[in-house]
Amino acid sequence: MLFVVALPLLAETDDTALRRLRAQYHPGEAALIGPHFTLVFGADDGEAGRLADALDALEARPFWFMLDRLARHDSAPPARTAYLFALPDDGDAELRDLHDRLNPRPGPVPFEPHLTLGLFGTAAAAEQVARIVQRQHLPIRGRIETLALLRRGADGLETLKTRVL
């Protein structure tokens, strides 16, 4: 499976806080990759050439973003799990534009730029952590200057291409 991610530059304290949150509440993914915005999710390996070419052809500049709100996504029953996401206001339009240019066909779910903070056993647990994160860590300001094309395999993530904006 292929992914294209935007890798944020963050202040050291913000980067540390996000990495700790992800390590505690989303350890499987946090061990693979640090904080990021996924722009292309789970493309077939046969798309590697097209995605590499699309990254080369992008006319985009680095941009600032601000994570200033949280959202919870509850899984459909019978599952009771819930994801907690940090969402940008500033930078949202730029991330949506990059997503649209890298994905020629719309997916089944509308794209919403987000940074995943964790996966929780219950919505109540996610809500409890959300209150703490909102009070102690937000807002977080960062900059997007780098995109990466990644392949997920049995041994983790392999970087196929990096594009500096």
- For residues 5-19, give the mean pLDDT: 97
Q: How far apart are CA 51 and CA 53, in angstroms?
A: 5
| Token pair 């200033």: residue | 68
Helix pair 48-57, 92-102: axis angle to 10 deg: 130
98's tokens = 């990059």
3-state secondary structure at position 60: coil
What is the pTM (predicted TM-score) of this model?
Answer: 0.94
pLDDT value of residue 5: 98
What's the CA gap between 150 and 40, in Å, rounded?
Answer: 10
pLDDT in tens, 84-136: 999 999 999 999 999 999 998 887 888 999 999 999 999 999 999 999 999 99
Q: Where are the domains of the chain?
A: 2-164
Fold classification of 2-164 (topology level):
Cyclic Phosphodiesterase; Chain: A, (3.90.1140)
Q: 73 with 83: CB under 8 angstroms?
A: yes
